[in-house]
Amino acid sequence: MNHYETVFILNPVLSDTQVKETVKKFEDFLTSRGAEFVSKEDWGLKKLAYPIQHKKSGFYHLFEFKVAGEVLAAYETEFRRDERVMRYLTVSLDKHAIAWAEKRRNKLNQKA
């Protein structure tokens, strides 16, 4: 199983319930295919650096997970099909990125 991180931006006109439903949909998609979640973060509504689909903000979410590489094609197809998703990016993490992500998570947990 490979280690991945996905950040996706949801449309800002969605209600809280719709945002939660969308996030749950992608969580369920991964867990149904044997993914193991390392971390899930809700970064909230943030201003975009440039407009996307004439929107100036969006709901940011981050998933860090381990899954077999074959699952990613279907996972990204789900993002393309869902009109509530404005942008997404999935990257594979190497050992240095995993260590950095863990350090960042620990720092966030200490602040909370």
CATH of 2-111, one of 3.30.460.30, 3.30.70.60, 3.40.50.300, 3.40.1160.10: 3.30.70.60
CA 112/CA 7 separation, integer angstroms: 22
Give me the residue spans of the domains in the chain.
2-111
Burial of 101 (0-12, 13-18, 19+ CB in 10 A): middle
Average pLDDT of the residues of the chain: 94
Q: What is the mean pLDDT of residues 61-88?
A: 95
- For residue 35, pLDDT over 70 is answered with yes
| Per-residue model confidence (pLDDT) at position 112 | 66
What is the pLDDT confidence band of residue 51, given thresholds at 50, 70 and 90? Answer: very high
> How many residues in the chain?
112
| Per-residue model confidence (pLDDT) at position 95 | 93
- For residue 94, pLDDT over 70 is answered with yes
Contact partners, residue 93, CB within 8 Å, separation at least 6: 3, 4, 5, 64, 101
Q: What is the mean pLDDT of residues 63-84?
A: 95
